[in-house]
Amino acid sequence: MRPTDFPRHLWPLSVHFYQNRLFLGRHDLADLAERLGTPAYIYDLPTIDHAIAAYRHGLEAWPGPGLITYASKAWLSLPLAQLLARRGLGLDVVSLAEMTIGLRGGFAPSMLHLHGNNKRPELLRRAVDAGVGAIVVDNLHELSLLESMRSAKDMRLWLRLNPDLLAPTHAYRQTGHHGSKFGMTWDDALAAARRIAAHPHLHLTGLHVHIGSQIFDLDPMLASIERLIDLAVAIERAGWGRIQALSPGGGLGVPYHPDDPAIALHTLAEGLCAGAADAWRRRHGGPLPTLILEPGRSLIARSGVALYTVGAIRHLSDGKRIIAVDGGMSDNLRPALYGARYTATPPRNPLDEAAGPARIVGPLCESGDFLIEEVWLPNVRPGDALAIPVSGAYHLSMASNYNGTLRPAVYLHTPDDLILLQRRETIDDLMRRDQPLSF
């Protein structure tokens, strides 16, 4: 491969070549794999900051106030929460654990937004007690729970609209169509707004929509924003509240594979915000609410690199190799679950000529345990490192202990340092909840 053929846009900004070796800043990635052990995940801080800057740039196209809230389901840990809180972001959470990690990481409660389609009464109560910035009401059952909650505290609520739109993405990631479990119909949303207006402690402050994830086409997203704005108009006309926050969710796509659309994040973010501003002017025209963007994947995916070590290699009669590495569907379920396509590179001699196609598989007892169906790779030998880019989102947060796999160590690369964010899981961690028999 010539250096110019290297899909640089898939890799963290700090990745570069030196003498046919791949470096992350001043670290030789192959040496890192040996030193840190594998599988290991490394996040590159400059790449995270670059994505935040792209969203800030995008929000300049929205003439009112704006806020970036990170969708913590993409991956959350205490140190990441600390980093993002310091950068002034908000946090989208869906569970008590995400909420607690966010608060311990230093987010002000008002910067947290609680999502989810089936929030249990206990979670709602804890969110109210903590004073989160918004509880995003998904359905009328949830509203009944909030109405009947014995609390004298004021609750700021958003309504999640189901706009009945099909997002152009994998079926498991579509969340805005009629048959989806998420969000309220137009009529339910109006009924909810009326009920909230009649309640002494409930306050309708915002509207939310999220039609899906890994989307490159802005048109359906803008169509969902238009419906949200129309709902704001209808609610305000009826005198049921004033919409101060407009949240079109997350969902912007990122390229994972050289064949994926390579649209720059700042272009997508700007298009989304400019389109939202235009829609607001045309359909509402009043003072601008805060536009709340909720990216998960696009904020963090590209910053993450997964490092593995090659083990067994099988040579098939058609010339294809099956290369087994020491991680798989236990740390990256996306290929098995969504047919997600990735690319890989040996960080030592990455520019060598490809020796043919290879299937990258894991060590788990399951044929669905693969990371890449086909990638053209140079010759690799057992013990060599293999790096997979765009590994920052929805890998570790969906990781499992299948076959007793221990979850990987996670590091942060900064221009000065390599910092441990999360140590590798241990067998003791795995057994911590087990109660030995007492008889």
Q: Select 14 or 175, whichever has its Cβ closest to ligand LLP.
A: 175
Taking contact as CB under 6 A, which single stretch among the options 78-86, 217-225, 291-299, 348-356 is the one that binds ligand LLP? 291-299
What part of residues 387-426 is at the interface with ligand LLP (CB under 6 A)?
A: 394
- The answer to the question of residue 58 lying near ligand LLP (CB under 6 A) is no
The structure tokens listed for 393 are 């989102």
Kindly calculate the radius of gyration of the chain based on its CA atoms and give it in whole angstroms.
23
Exactly one of 27, 119, 156, 297 binds ligand LLP (CB under 6 A); which one? 297
Q: Which of 365, 427, 431, 437 is catalytic?
A: 365
Q: Is 273 a catalytic residue?
A: no
- The answer to the question of residue 115 lying near ligand LLP (CB under 6 A) is yes
CA dihedral 91→97→103→108, nearest 10 degrees, is 40
- The answer to the question of residue 260 lying near ligand LLP (CB under 6 A) is no
- The answer to the question of residue 173 lying near ligand LLP (CB under 6 A) is yes
Q: Select 94 or 310, whichever has its Cβ closest to ligand LLP.
A: 94
- The answer to the question of residue 210 lying near ligand LLP (CB under 6 A) is yes
For 435, counting Cβ atoms within 10 Å of its Cβ (0-12 exposed, 13-18 middle, 19+ buried), the class is exposed
Q: Select 27 or 115, whichever has its Cβ closest to ligand LLP.
A: 115
277: helix, strand or coil: helix
- The answer to the question of residue 72 lying near ligand LLP (CB under 6 A) is no
Provide the residue count of the chain.
439
The structure tokens listed for 99 are 């909420």
- The answer to the question of residue 25 lying near ligand LLP (CB under 6 A) is no
- The answer to the question of residue 348 lying near ligand LLP (CB under 6 A) is no
- Side-chain-side CA neighbours of residue 27 (13 Å): 21
Q: Which of 157, 84, 136, 133 is nearest to 249 (CA)?
A: 136
The structure tokens listed for 277 are 């501003």
What part of residues 81-100 is at the interface with ligand LLP (CB under 6 A)?
A: 92
**What one-character-per-residue DSSP string does 133-183 give?**
SEEEE-SHHHHHHHHT----S-EEEEEEB------SS-GGGB-SSTT-SSS
Q: Give all strands (DSSP E) within 45-84, no chain letters.
A: 66-71
What part of residues 375-394 is at the interface with ligand LLP (CB under 6 A)?
A: 394
Closest distance to ligand LLP from the beta carbon of 254 (Å): 9
* Count of residues interacting with ligand LLP (CB under 6 A): 21
Q: Which of 175, 166, 167, 177 is nearest to 217 (CA)?
A: 167
Closest distance to ligand LLP from the beta carbon of 200 (Å): 28
- The answer to the question of residue 294 lying near ligand LLP (CB under 6 A) is yes
Q: Select 51 or 358, whichever has its Cβ closest to ligand LLP.
A: 51
Q: Select 309 or 330, whichever has its Cβ closest to ligand LLP.
A: 330
CB 70 within 8 A of CB 91: yes
What percent of the chain is helix, strand and coil (3-state, nearest 5)?
35, 25, 45
Residues binding ligand LLP (CB under 6 A): 71, 73-74, 92, 115, 173, 210, 213-214, 249-252, 294-298, 334, 338, 394
Q: Hey, which residues are catalytic here?
A: 365
